[in-house]
Structures are given as C-alpha cells and as structure tokens.
Amino acid sequence: MSADVKDDNQPYDDINITPMLDLAYVLLVTFIIMTTASVQGVKVTSPVTQAANNLAKPQTRGITITEQGQVYLDAYPVSMDELKTSLAQYKAANPNLPVVLKADAAAQYDKVMEVLNVAKSLDITEIGLVTKRAQP
C-alpha cells in the first residue's frame, strides 16, 4: 500500500489552507476599500478664483470651516481653544508649519477671521486658502 492512502479508521491530519487564505485576502481587500472610502474629510463648497496653485506640502495641516461655522482640524471637529492647542503642538514640532484653510463659500467671514487670528497668534505664516479654479 502507498504511504498517502489512509485506512478508514485513521484521522486525516492534513489541512487545506487555500480556502482560508482566499477568505483572508477578500477580507483584506474589503477593509482597504472601506477605510479609503470613509477617510475623505468634510465636504464643503469652495469659493471660485481665477488662479489657484496647489499649496499642499508634507505635514500640512488642514483646517475646514463648514457653512454652519463648524471648524475641523484634519477632518476632526474642534473648538477654537482645541484648535489653538493642537496647532501649538504641531508648531512646536515643526516651526515652519504649513496650514491650508478650506472654508465653505457660504461660511461666515468672522469664523474665517477667528481661525486666521489663531494662526497669527501662534506665528504661523505659511497659510494657504483653498479655492476652486474658475472655468473659462
């Protein structure tokens, strides 16, 4: 008799892991797709300008102001005190901290000025304003 043939009473001790790996790969791809789809930030309508350059740099912090006046730092809602504290920590780690301010076109101007005053009080000089490029 061959060594591969088992008697009826012997347990089968080999495990086929191919279906288990297939399931693991499918779950991995599903989780990757779901996490990238859920981390898109806060949707606002940006104002339109004639010329807009991309100011994004590595370690750039994004501040978003919605139409209702809610302030977000990197897609997380914050109060003005929390914004100042967080930006101070980032500024301590990177003295040339670049910040991008993205406000809804219908956002109240005083909320934008509050955020700019927080940045000015922390001596953050690299501030970019996000706009949409006007269609010719």
pLDDT at 5: 61
**If we measure between CA atoms, which residue out of 50, 72, 52, 54 comes closest to residue 63?**
72
pTM value?
Answer: 0.58
pLDDT above 90: residue 85: yes
- Residue 47 pLDDT > 80: no
Contact 93, 127 (CB under 8 A): no
pLDDT of residue 13 exceeding 60, the answer is yes
In this structure, which amino acid lies at residue 135? Answer: Q
Backbone φ and ψ of 132, nearest 5°: -100, 145
| Arithmetic mean of pLDDT over the chain | 80
Amino acid at 72: Y
Region 107-122: mean pLDDT is: 89
> What is the CB neighbour count within 10 angstroms for residue 97?
23
What stretches of 15-79 show up as alpha helix (H) in DSSP?
18-38
Q: Is the pLDDT of residue 65 over 70?
A: yes
Sheet holding 126-129, edge to edge: 76-78, 71-73, 61-65, 98-103, 126-129
